[in-house]
Structure 1
């Protein structure tokens, strides 16, 4: 063995520590043990390894420092250490290895600055330290590495400006410095190397223009500079370079795309999304004959799509979302038959959808929503959406999406839509579609979401929908559907949301719906349903909302709401305007989470149960227009959350004081004979026999009359003062009916100058005083081009304030505008007091008419959802240490909401898109409290589910007043996303009976295939112990029994313990 010169142990299962005796093999020239399971440190006794030329220990679990004695191996030419868990600095002694040609230590946890001594490695051709924790700047001594061919320092924490000495490396071919914190201008001397083919500087803080920066890079084929602070115009000289990939998105480039750029015949990928580009697409676009990916979303581009786009025969991805393009969609576009993804959503396209779309044989995602498209749906609009043609494109967040909602489409839904077997989400809502719903939709076996609401559809609901075994959301509301509700819908065990509101459905409610034990929201309101409530509804104990108002339902509700059933999660019960009769069951008072109770306009009789006064969460109570008798329980005034209270048009007597919530101006007690109090003006009856008026009663009536007269006088005086504001509000209300004003709903006439001067209430001392006018200017009148997010609670705009600061402005959705201003201000003051490192700070707010704006701190790196599922090349960025950091920080933020603030705050919509990341990937929880803000504003609480269905716990839905246990479940789903890299729902789970991430993870664990769950990016042996422990936490969080889930404080403690694992 002492004469051994070469030892290869590659690709085996060797484990344990490397024996120190290896370094006694003084004649050893080459030692390779890559892709094993060795652990422990590299022995620090390499002084005798004078002959060693090549050392490859990559792909193991080696830890500790790179030994200083490495400098004694003076013949060393190749040192290959990637994919271990090495820590500490790069030793200075490595500079003694003057013959070193290759130094690779990527995918470790090395830290500290790069030693100047690396400049001594005059023979070095490749230096790769990607994905470590290196800090500091690039040493100027790197200019001495004249033989260097490849320099890869990407995904570290390095900073400072690039040294001019890099221009001395005249043989450099590939430069990777992405995902660091470098700043300053990009130096043009990088192009001193005429061999340079690849420059990757993405996700840094570089600023300035590109005036002549890359002009001399005559061999450049790949330029990646997205995610910086670059501005100015796109330079013409780029067209003179032999570029294959040009990625300049997420900067501040403005102006037109140069005409010359379209002449780059070699270009394969052009990413210029999320800038401020203007102008139209040139007819010269057809010169880019090789182009495969074109991303221009999130700019201010307008004009017609040029027919020359047909010449892009290799195009696979076209994303123009969120611009201002108009005119018809050119039929020529669909001669680009290799297209897999087409996203033209949120523009101003008009005309019909070309029938030529059927030429796209490999299309897997089509988004045309939020335009002005007319005509009928092409019969073969999605015939290519079949399981075996789904693209591997990392661009689309959701493969299998067909979204043509929010247009002006008419005609019937083609029967051929059933051939689109690869569709996962089908969105046709908010159009003018007519005719019957095709039963062929039932053949789309992987369908998860189906939304046909707000059309003019007629006929009956196809009973075949019962075959959609993976369906989680079914929305058919606001149509003209007739007939009965098919009993077969009870077979869809995965169903979470069923919304059939505002149709003409008749007959009884099928008893089979009681089999939908996972249902959280049921809305059958405003139909012609009759009969009694099915007793089987007692099985849906996890339901959050039941909305059956305005039907012809009858009978007693006492059997359904009996002592034997515990409705732990119910938040909303609306049975108003029906024919129910009998007494009100006292068990209603046991539904502790009930916040909305509407039983008005029925035939209920008997007394109001005193148990209703125990509903401490109650905000809305309407028992009006029944036959209720007896005393009104006096403790109703003790309900602190109540904002609407109507027991009028009954036969009630008694006395209510003006104290507590009964002094609230929203409380309605009008028309009640016999009640005293703040709003009672009728005579007061002390008992059932009708005794004479007492002095107190007379005094109360007199004072009430005086108060009424005073209020009337006050209203008359204020009427003229408020006249202009009222007119302004009406203008805004009218603008909501016009989709063309969607991006300019704050555009008001110059005669209304005062509202524009309304101050923005700021929680922290601002650098400048802000007004509504400032926000309008900062967002270019809420232009579509500034949209950076669009969720269930409203649209988010990026804004640059007068002092140069970037902020995010959330324009709340219409539902929140119905909320009283006093309640809104109270909510804002509460949310503004929430300060924590891992919460997105609410900086201020503005309430103007029916519009409500929230000003947040801007998060440079967007959402976790974007990085996990949508951002090109981002998965490599999210190594396990970053994911662990995100999990830990998000847990702390949510734990603070649950336990660190009084009153406790329930998030209600926890998901990966609500975890935002700052420039250092520090996570901050966003949108906390907004679900309550929106839901509390509606008279009839919305049954829309916020966010992706896969986050909804079994016992409630996201858009309702929820529980902390529900937040914990949603957080567990986020942990599973971090571990698997997969989305909560989708085609990935088609082999399971229920299509969601939680069930798939539990299924795989039950089969003993735990490590097969891991995202390949984090499948390193060194990380496996931590990943497994986090998986255990995720499984505990997603327990079906909410009472078995840990609290967020316990989750934080578990994650702290896991962080300590080596």
Structure 2
């Protein structure tokens, strides 16, 4: 009997292990294989425990509703080592981000199996070898960035078949051969290949016509074949010629004197990925800028909804008719900034129009408007933003700003981060928009002195008092935007005076925390449908971002990591200790205390956060 029980137990263990191997978490095995091939000096992968049932609880991993890995985000993680073929087993993966590391070796051909991939970011590594031809299988790919590696060989023609491709950056490698201009990315997709000295930018020669049947004895048939071949070749040249001429023209034609670029510098650096629209195109698209198509108004003009000739919807930003210096400056800034900054969480500029009397910018139409409109001005038929969407907005906006701060050269600061400037696409993905107040930052500069720009309630105190802006002013604005997401309130609202409340959202939130009235803090539209711990974490991030001193605020890259669950607890504990010290110091010296969270509320307990439902 005992032996029978033992055999059954062994069989069950074997069967469980077999099922786990065959039907279990192949994705976890694939990620563990990657981990074993990478050197991780910063212990970024510490949470990747192969004994867990699935990897959805690991840091830097995002899963879909079916518990399949949809995102792998290890950008700027300090990793080295090589990629592994097992990555091709992540069949539901949509985003593969391994940029900014020291990864060597070749790009595995098996990445071509990731047919749902929308973004492949392997730039700023030390990858070598050819670009796999199998990447042409990724027919849903929107962003392919392999720049700043040491890749060799030619650009695969298979890439030209990816109709969804929006950005292709192959710059600063050792690629050679002819750049394909036929296919989907030739004249329409932003493609960068600077820094590849052996690339030939011209069309591939047309193929020779098929020779006539060599078995035919008829001389006339041969002549007919030759004539047909000549006609075919002439037709090929007829159609290929304009494409070649346009490509050459776009690269060589000097643009209008608008950027103050030295004559020997190629203006294509700034405008290569943008389309220049005619005024007539945009007049037709917007019904001659009809008031019925106005989407919004800003300091420098109006934004109109439009439909282009190809049927695509756009948002057209039209500067005010008066040609003020500020308007000109903003137009130049937006065109330059957005043409350099390309990221899925940044609003992509499609093109521009410039005439002696008009300055217009053309953006993709954001189907769900801005976060501010969804929070406060939505129609009755539109449901409120639910809590998972708000979390996704917080993370997406943080990623977009981190890209501006850390991946643009020179850096970019936005200077007007607020819910009204965070737009939402058809999938409610956050897109940081309105770069009209952006400023370039040189790496050598710690601040930029300028006239104060921005929106009341979002302006960092040091920027308001000194006019010195930095990336930390964006962090402050982002923190206030988080409070908008949590509370649904405006950053500055005189209506709160009716209830003897603070007009500044940040002060209002601090007052609620001090008075232990957290039940009033969370947006009533959520109707209690949120996770207490997650609200608590977002509040903590917001308070860390809105500290009075710029140096004490985290960087946006740190905010991204905290939102992903890495390092928030430690940072919050450190902040608590500093606040206790300040409180004791101020009490000892009889200083006025603007706001200190009492000891009993330091942990922002779930009971306090939940309140009456």
User: Which of structures 1 and 2 has the bigger CA Rg?
Assistant: 1
Which has the larger share of helix?
2
> TM-score under structure 2 normalisation?
0.44
Kindly indicate which of the two structures has a greater share of residues assigned to strand.
1
